[in-house]
Amino acid sequence: MSRYILGRIASTGLVLVGVSALTFFIAHVVPGDPVLVALGEHAREDQIQAYRRAYGLDRPVVVQYVIYMGRLLRGDLGVSIRTRRPVAVDLRQFLPATVELGTAAWLVAMMLGIPAGILSAIFKDRAFDHLSRIAALIGASMPVFWLGLLLLGNFYFRLHWFPGPGRLDITIDAPPARTGLLLVDALLSADPIAWGNALRHLILPGLTLGLFSTAVVARMTRSAMLEVLYQDYIRTARAKGLSAWRVHLWHALRNAMIPTLTIIGISFGNLLSGAVLTETVFAWPGLGRYATTSAVSLDFPAVVGVTLVAAVIYTLVNLIVDLIYARLDPRVRYD
């Protein structure tokens, strides 16, 4: 087991070095001239030279990469061209909104996807199974940004059931920022009005972002359950005369949840990708919206910073999921 954990951590370290190399490549090699990208076309010659020297761009690419790595390890992601602030500071400011949205979407996916998958497997080839599979298929094929527009148009503009874009109504004072997570901050400052408003603001974007993952989780849970339901020990449990519910929920689900766990890790990447589009539609001040506004204004250090941070978060989440998986399933070995 410890061999597996060590191997998995080592390979994660290797992947992170690769991630930094790829982002370096995108930032420094792909654009024709990173200086022009950073300073704009109208930069003066002395500014260009100063920038080249400051960022080591006059040195060989390998040396540049070493400098870049050194800065990364110190948490220096460069300075945003648009906001004129260090990218790391910007990311710290925008990350909590994305964490809050991602958690809401993740909860939607788990609470809808897992029960749908279980029932689908139990009632295989019956009406519920067909309906749930069609719903999952449509959910997995839906353009997130279009769904967001439809929900916003109907449930905010037309019916006024939910509040509009943003994290809070403009008439409501934000609770003092401690964690950056509005729901947590409102709780900490005992502000039920802000808490309720923040929660209502979270529902539409949370549903929008969660739908795709719901579909994936439902499909995965269904197939994992089906796989388990045909095993001998389930037949034994049935033969012992246990009730159907006890067999399904106690014997089958426990084992079916193990493969479903990996999907939680993988769908996290979908959540981060989907957050870019969802946050754009709902004017949600998170990492995704920061990424798109930066990308549109060709703010390269910011775009690369978000890309790097997203990859690091995604990689670490998958590492944690794999370690939990190995703990739950002792057959897992590092090869």
Partner 1 sequence: MTDRPRIARRRSAATLRWLRRSPLVTAGGLVILLYMLAAITAPLLAPHSPLAQLLERRLGPPQPGYPLGLDQLGRDILSRVLFGARLSLLVGLVVVAVAGLLGTTVGVVAGFAGGRIDNVLMRITDVFFAFPSLILAMAIAAALGPSLINTMVAIAVVTWPVYARLSRAQTLVLRRQEFIEAARALGASDARVIARHILPNALSPLIVQASFNMGEAILIAAGLSFIGFGAQPPTPEWGVMISEGRDYITTQWWVPTFPGLAILLAVTGFNLAGDGLRDLLDPRLRRAG
Enumerate residues 126-145 that contact partner 1 by CB under 8 A: 134, 137-138, 140-145
CB of 295 to partner 1, least distance (A): 4
Query: Residue 4 in contact with residue 324, Cβ under 8 Å?
Result: no
Residues 214-233, mask of contacts with partner 1 (x by CB under 8 A): ---------x--xx--x---
Q: Which of 23, 98, 208, 214 binds partner 1 (CB under 8 A)?
A: 23
Residue range at the interface with partner 1 (CB under 8 A); choices 73-81, 97-105, 174-182, 265-273: 265-273
Q: Which residues contact 68 (CB under 8 A, 6 or more apart)?
A: 20, 24, 28
By CB under 8 A, the count of residues binding partner 1 is: 57
Does position 9 interact with partner 1 (CB under 8 A)? The reply is no
In this structure, the number of other CB atoms found within 10 A of the CB of residue 11 comes to 13
Tokens 């609770």 belong to residue:
175
CA distance 255 to 98: 32
Q: How far is CA 170 from the centre of its chain?
A: 27
H-state helical runs in 40-86? 45-54, 61-73
φ and ψ of 283, to 5 deg: 45, 45
CA distance 105 to 282: 14
Residues 181-220, mask of contacts with partner 1 (x by CB under 8 A): ----------------------------------------
Q: Which of 6, 9, 11, 58 binds partner 1 (CB under 8 A)?
A: 11
φ and ψ of 74, to 5 deg: -90, 5
**Under the rule (CB under 8 A), what is the footprint of partner 1?**
11, 14-16, 18-19, 21-23, 26-27, 30-31, 134, 137-138, 140-146, 149-150, 152-154, 157-158, 223, 226-227, 230, 269-270, 272-274, 276-277, 280-281, 291-292, 295-296, 298, 300, 303-304, 306-307, 310-311, 314-315
